[in-house]
Amino acid sequence: MKRLLLIPALLAAAPALADGLVDNVNGVALDSRGQVVRFSAIVIDKEGKVVRLVPKGEKPPKRPDWRTDMAGRTVMPGMIDAHGHVMALGYRGLEIDLSGTRSLGAAQEAIRAYARANGNRPWIVGGGWNQEAWGLGRFPTAAELDAAVGDKPVLLERADGHAVWANTAAIKAAGITAQTKSPPGGRIELANGQPSGVFVDSAATLFDAAKPKPSPRERNAAFLKAQDTLLSNGITATADMGTTVDDWQVFRRMGDIGQLRVRIMSYGMGLDTALSVAGSGPTPWLYGDRLRMGGIKLYADGALGSRGAWLKAPYSDAPGQRGLSFIGDTTLLNVMSRATMDNFQLAIHAIGDQANRQVLDAIAEIASSYKDDRRWRIEHAQVIDPADLPALGRNGTIASMQPVHATGDRTMAEARLGEARLKGAYAWATVLRGGGRLAFGSDYPVESPNPFVGWAAAFTREDANGQPPGGWRPEERVTREQAWKAFTQDAAYAGFAEQRFGSLLPGQKADFLVVDRDPVAATPAELRATKVLETWVGGYRAWPLKDKPEVAAGR
C-alpha cells in the first residue's frame, strides 16, 4: 500500500485560504495507477473541484470559507455505473416489480394484489420476472397470467429486458394473432400454433401502439425515483444506455430546474435518436458536467436468459436455436461509420459469441480508418469464443461488463452454453491480461444498482451466499483494486469523462461518498453490506437532501 505523501499528483501546495474543507475523515481512494491512498481531509474549490487530498498526519488548511466535520467516518470516491437504464429503473420503482418472486405462484399473487390496489389503471405494466429464478424450466404462458388478471391487459418485462409476458387481453389489444409474423430480431413464442404469451426481443414492440404512453408527470416521477435510488446506492455518475428523445427531454427538464443531481453519460438509442438530440456530433457537457450525449447504443443480439443471445453453435438446452441476430454485417458497418464520422462513440450490445465476433470484426474494420482515440465499447461482452478474446485487447476496445451477471447467471449459463463455451464467458481477468480495458456496471434495473455487491462479485466470483466456494471459474477473478478502478476511474474513461470525474485527484469534481465501513478492509460479505450514509456531487450533498437540493448549475 502506498502512502499519499509519495504520490506526486496529489502534492500541490495547500493554499493559505481554502474555499471549502471536508475534514476529519477516514479517507480512502485510488491514485492514477490504481493503488490505494489514504487521506484525512478534502480541500474543495468554489467550482466544486478537488484542490488536494490532505494526507493523514498533516494539518488541514486554516480558515476555509466552509468546513464540514465528518467525525472520522469513511469517505471514498463516488461510484460510477458504466451501464444502466435510468428511466427503466425509475419506472420499475413505480410499477409492479416481480424481481423478488421465487415461484410462478408467488408472481401471480403479487400481480393480483397489485391489480387490486391499482384498479384505475387501464393496463398493468411492470417487470422483473425470471422463469429461471422460479425453477419453471420454461417460459410462463398467457393463460397463467390470465389466472392472475384477466379483465384488463397485463404486460410484464422479463428481468433482462429482452422479453415480455402478456395476458390474453394484452395480446388482443395489440391485434396479435396466430397469423402475426415474428419481426426481424424478434421471436413470438408459440404453443399449438398460437402465441403462447411471451414475446422475445423486437417482438415486444408489437405492443407499442396499444399500451398507454407515460405522461410527462409520470416521466418526471420516474426520473426522480431513479435518481434517488442511484444516489442512495452511492452512484454519483452513470452511463444511460439507450436514451430516447423523451428520456433526454426529462433529463433536460430536471437540469433546467436544478433537480439534476446525478451525472449522466448518455448514449442515444440508435443513430436517429442521437442525431435528433445532438445534431452532427456529441452535445457539450451541461449543468456543471452533469449531462452529455456523447454516444450511440446499438444492439447486435438479445440476451442469454431468453435465448436471444446470438451463438456460433446451438444452445445446449435448445438444440434448434442459436439466438437472434439484430443487425446485418453491412448495416452495422454503415451505421458505425456514419456515427464515427460525427464523432459519436459506439456502444454495442453483444452477449453471444457470434454477436461478439461480428462486433469485433466491425471494430477492426472501422478502426483501420479512424486511428484516433475512439474507445469502442462492447456492452456486456458476455460470451466470447476463447479464440476471439485477444481481439478485445486491440483498437482501444472497452469491455463494459457487469460482475453481478456472472454470479446471477451462473446456473442458467451452464445450462444454456455447456462446458466448452464457459471458457470464454464473463472472462474479466482474461480481458485485462490481453491488454483490454474493463468498465464495470450493473445493467440496472436488470440487477440491483448497488455497486458494492458488484464490487464483491468481481474479486470473489461468489454470490451473496458465498456460492460456489472459492468462486465460479475463479481464474477470471480480478483484484479488489482492479474491480474498484473499473467502477470508478475506468467507468469514467469509458465515457470520455476521466478528466472531469471518477476519482478524487486534483482538478476532478468533488464527488464522494460517506459510508459506514472501510471498503478496502472489509470482507466480501461486509463489503456487500456497505451502507451509504451521504452522497456528495460537485462539493454539494446530493443525498440525502436537506430542505432543498444543494445543486448549482456550475458545480
* C-alpha grid cell, residue 15: 493554499
| Eight-state DSSP code of residue 505 | S
CA distance 87 to 94: 11
Task: Report yes or no: 262 and 233 within 8 Å, Cβ to Cβ.
Answer: no
Position 546 scores a pLDDT of 78
Bridge partners of 542, per DSSP, are none
β strands within 381-526, DSSP E:
398-401, 437-440, 512-515
Q: Is 290 helix (H, G, I), strand (E, B) or coil?
A: coil
> Residue 2, Cβ neighbours under 10 Å: how many?
12
* Structural domain contains residue 120: no
Q: Which stretches within 176-215 are classed as H helix?
A: none
Determine phi and psi for 486, rounding to 5 degrees: -70, -25
Residue 33 within a domain: yes
Q: 425: which strand partners?
A: 383
Contacts of 76 (CB under 8 A, 6+ apart): 27, 28, 29, 512, 513, 515, 519
Q: Per the omega criterion (within 30 degrees of 0), is the bond before 445 cis?
A: yes
Q: What is the structure's pLDDT at 294?
A: 98
Question: Residue 98 falls within a domain, yes or no?
Answer: no
Residue 32 lies in a domain: yes
Q: Is 431 helix (H, G, I), strand (E, B) or coil?
A: helix
| Whether the Cβ atoms of residue 179 and residue 173 lie closer than 8 Å to each other | no
| Percent of the chain residues topping a pLDDT of 70 | 95
Length of the chain: 555
Which string of b and e fits 405-421 if b means at least 16 CB within 10 Å?
bbbbbbebbbebbeeeb
Contact 219, 232 (CB under 8 A): no
**Residue-level pLDDT at 239:** 98
Counting as low any pLDDT under 50, the low residues of the chain are: 1-17, 548-554
Q: Supply 95's cell numbers.
A: 410499477
Query: Is there a domain that residue 469 lies in?
Result: no
CA distance 77 to 515: 10
Match 430542505 to its residue by C-alpha cell: 547
pTM beyond cutoff 0.85: yes
User: In this predicted structure, what is the pLDDT of residue 18?
Assistant: 60
User: Quick one: CA torsion of 410, 411, 414, 419, rounded to 10 degrees?
Assistant: 80
Residue 553 maps to a domain: no
List the Cα angle 333/339/342 in 5-degree steps.
140
Q: Tell me: the pLDDT tens digits for 276-326?
A: 999 989 999 999 999 999 999 999 999 999 999 999 999 999 999 999 999
**Amino acid, single-letter form, for residue 393:** G
Sign of the four-CA dihedral 33, 36, 40, 45: positive
| Domain annotation covers residue 193 | no
SS3 420: helix
Q: Is residue 64 part of a domain?
A: yes
| CB-count burial class (<10 Å; 0-12, 13-18, 19+) for 284 | exposed
Nearest in space to 366 (alpha carbons), one of 388, 399, 396, 387: 396
Tell me how far apart the alpha carbons of residues 250 and 239 are, in angstroms, rounded to a whole number. Answer: 16
Say which residues have a Cβ less than 8 Å from residue 479's Cβ, sequence separation at least 6: 459
Nearest C-alpha neighbor of 401 from the set 346, 458, 361: 458
Residue 138: burial class (beta carbons within 10 Å; 0-12, 13-18, 19+): exposed
Task: Determine the Cα–Cα distance for residues 142 and 162; give it in Å rounded to an integer.
Answer: 17
Q: What domain range is 65 assigned to?
A: 4-72
* Cα separation, 39 vs 4, whole angstroms: 7
In the chain, the number of structural domains is 1
Give 193-241 pLDDT, tens digit per residue.
999 999 999 999 999 999 999 999 999 999 999 999 999 999 999 999 9
Cell of 537: 456531487
pLDDT (tens digit per residue) in 441-471 = 999 999 999 999 999 999 999 999 999 999 9
